[in-house]
Amino acid sequence: MKIICLLPRRADLTRAQFKQYYEENHAPLIEKLLPFYTEYRRNFLADEQDYETGHLENKAEDAPPFDVITELTFSTRENYEKMVAALSDPAIGDVIAADEANLFDRDNMQVYLVEEVASAAR
């Protein structure tokens, strides 16, 4: 089981400030309070978005609506449900929400359950 989170930073934070706070404060808080995952990855957008290929017109003109793609992978549905229950507990959920307010635009956060399919490793 996996969830993908598309998370925008607060408008008053630079990308560098956002990444530093996430890595030094928020990620350790999640690791401590929500230890139910098997993998916790943060994929920060690069400052320069210059990816262009000849086969696709994909140059983004506008800023993306998120700054990091966070992935949480769970070994079982039960572990995922433990995380959901923990977030519903005010002793945990309120602490995490308060910290999220330090770095995220909480009104525009998006979370999705996904089914991951991987090609063979090379």
Tens-digit pLDDT profile for residues 11-36: 999 999 999 999 999 999 999 999 99
Q: What is the DSSP letter of 54?
A: T
**Domain spans in the chain, listed from the N-terminal domain onward:** 1-47+64-70+109-116
pTM of the predicted model, to two decimals? 0.89
Residue 2 in tokens = 């996996």
Residue 65 contacts residue 108 (beta carbons within 8 Å): yes
Predicted pLDDT at 104: 98
Rounded distance between C-alpha atoms, residue 94 and residue 102, angstroms: 13
Rounded distance between C-alpha atoms, residue 8 and residue 26, angstroms: 14
Q: What is the DSSP letter of 104?
A: B
Quick: pLDDT tens for 25-80.
999 999 999 999 999 999 999 887 666 666 766 666 677 899 999 999 999 999 99
